[in-house]
A = this chain, B = another copy of it.
Amino acid sequence: MTVERQAGPRGPYAKSAQRANDILDAATKTFSTHGYRGGSMRDIARQLDVSLTSIVHHFGTKYALLEAVLERADKTETGTEVFDFDAACAEHGVAAATLERVRSGLTRPALLRLFAILAAESSEPGHPAHEWFVDRYRRKRESLAAAFAYDQERNRINPAHDPHALSRLLIGTWDGAQLQWLIDPSIDMVATMREFFEWKLPEATLD
């Protein structure tokens, strides 16, 4: 049969991968609306008209499912699927790369809402995703500080700044401006972030 000569996974494996993907989509929707504690596996199963057992078969526990949702969202959000933020920082500097990423995020409010809700919910030390978020923010702070230090090496920004302080302040402003925009899209988030850079790093290239 010609069908068997098609490239890529097929048959039961392709079906299983497709099912796992559908579960991740449904779980993203549920967790970004109800949070983790408020979102139930049963609700996710109902959306897809599959059994709870099928979800457990693919992901095991509810927390493992959340982790898979977050890892995939993080990859879309910061990784190579949409655009490579780290590479953009190295090539254009942190300021220009950040503005580009902010602009690209405007088309993905649901994903940004997922992180905003989960970050707030998991800030409580007893939350299952607490360590995941502590670690995510630690990595973000370190990689942005390194990117600012690289900007200084390349004479793109003032070497007198403490790159760690810059990194902390940028992450704070970014998250907070994003929350304002999620709540009220009439707030121009790109303008707020431009103002941040124009004030803080007037020497940086923004476009």
Contact = CB atoms under 8 A, between A and B. Distances in A.
A39 interface: yes
A134 B184 contact: yes
A168 to B, nearest CB: 5
B184 A137 contact: yes
A117 B113 contact: no
Count the copies: 2
Interface residues of A, number: 43
Contact of A35 (B34, B123, B169): B34
A182 B133 CA distance: 11
Interface string A3-35: 000000000000000000000000000001111
A80 interface: no
A81 interface: no
A172 interface: yes
Interface string A176-207: 11111011100100001001100110000000
A192 to B, nearest CB: 5
Contacts of A39: 38
B133 A183 contact: yes
Interface in A161-176: 165, 168-169, 171-176
A89 interface: no
A123 B182 CA distance: 5
A90 interface: no
A4 to B, nearest CB: 45
Nearest to A138: B184
Top 6 A-B pairs ranked by shortest CB distance? A38-B38, A176-B176, A172-B176, A175-B176, A123-B182, A116-B120
